[in-house]
Structure 1
Amino acid sequence: MKAVVFSDSHGDTAAMREAVEREAPDQILHLGDLAGDAERLGIRFPQIPLEYVCGNCDGFSLAPAVRLLELRGRRVLMMHGHTHGVKTGYGGAIAAARQVGADILLFGHTHQAYAERLEDGLWVMNPGSCQSWGRTTYGVILLEKMDTLCYTVPV
């Protein structure tokens, strides 16, 4: 199973559309800023399941700030990260993921792509920012029967 992960698109959906067409994922995840971009992506690709959370620029969104879901038997904690202080460190977000027994922690907000598997097996990923100005990146999660791989991709 392949999931693509986006965050911080800020109204620019072109790079996300391109990534979905290139990757042909089984799932789309969006980590906020802007939740409306995620909704537009869902309209463009209705055949691909979509999950999203709101970010600090999503004041009128009804999407949750944090979402725990299961993908292929892995618990995935999604958040934008602003409520867990990720701009000053990932400790609060990692603690939240461990508290709910997550296998994968996904957050955005910093616009800095990052993917690492911690010593306890928790995957931590920030897909960066998927907008056409600056360094445009997104994340990919590959879920196989016995393994998980998370990485970021420049557009």
Structure 2
Amino acid sequence: MRIAVFSDTHGDVDHMERAVRRERPDLVLHLGDLCRDFEELQARMPRQTMQNVCGNCDGFSLTPDQRVLQVEGRRLLMTHGHRYHVKASYNSAVFAAREAQAELLLFGHTHIPFCEELEGLWVLNPGSCQGRRGTYGIIELSGGGVTCCIKPAEEPETT
């Protein structure tokens, strides 16, 4: 299972759409800021399986700010991160993921990409998928385990 993870698109749906078309994921996750970008991507790609949460800049939304998903037998905690004060420390978010018995913690908010395994918990912040320096995350789930990486939203130029 291939999962593309986006956050903090802040109006830049085009970079996100190009990345989804390039990566061909089984599932797209958007971690908030902005929910309307997620909705626009859904309208452009109605056959793509997607889930999202809202962030601190999403205003009033019926979309939850956190979800626990079961994907390929693995639990994922997806959140924007602002309620866990991730700009100061990841500790509260990591604690919440462990409480939820998640194997993966996915959050945004900081605009700083991060991908690391911490004592059996994969922690992924895809960064901000906005503009030329934007980034996103890719998760591969297989019988053999989990791999994560950060990718540039804009394809490198080939010469």
Which one-letter code corresponds to 2:144 in the other structure?
A: M
- For 2:16, the equivalent position in structure 1 comes to 16
- For 1:37, the equivalent position in structure 2 comes to 37
- For 2:144, the equivalent position in structure 1 comes to 146
1:64 aligns with 2:64: yes
Determine helix, strand or coil for the equivalent of 1:64.
coil
1:84 aligns with 2:84: yes
- For 1:95, the equivalent position in structure 2 comes to 95
Deviates more, 1:60-69 or 1:103-112: 60-69
- For 1:125, the equivalent position in structure 2 comes to 124
CA deviation after TM superposition for structure 1 residue 145, in Å: 1.4
CA deviation after TM superposition for structure 1 residue 104, in Å: 0.3
CA deviation after TM superposition for structure 1 residue 42, in Å: 1.2
Determine helix, strand or coil for the equivalent of 1:97.
helix
Describe the superposition over 1:6-38 as per-residue Cα deviations: whole angstroms up to 9, x where unpaired.
000011111101100100010000000001111
Describe the superposition over 1:95-145 as per-residue Cα deviations: whole angstroms up to 9, x where unpaired.
0000010000000000000000112x1000000000115x30000010111
Separation of aligned partners in 1, 2:70 and 2:138: 16
Separation of aligned partners in 2, 1:46 and 1:142: 22
Which one-letter code corresponds to 1:117 in the other structure?
A: E
Percentage identity across paired residues of the two chains: 54
Q: How many residues align?
A: 153
Separation of aligned partners in 1, 2:61 and 2:32: 10
Determine helix, strand or coil for the equivalent of 2:76.
strand
- For 1:137, the equivalent position in structure 2 comes to 135
Separation of aligned partners in 1, 2:6 and 2:118: 21
Taking structure 2 as the reference length, the TM-score comes to 0.94
Taking structure 1 as the reference length, the TM-score comes to 0.96
Separation of aligned partners in 1, 2:125 and 2:63: 19
Which one-letter code corresponds to 2:11 in the other structure?
A: G
Structure 2 spans left out of the alignment, 5+ residues: 154-159
Separation of aligned partners in 1, 2:101 and 2:3: 20
Separation of aligned partners in 1, 2:138 and 2:43: 21
Which one-letter code corresponds to 2:125 in the other structure?
A: N
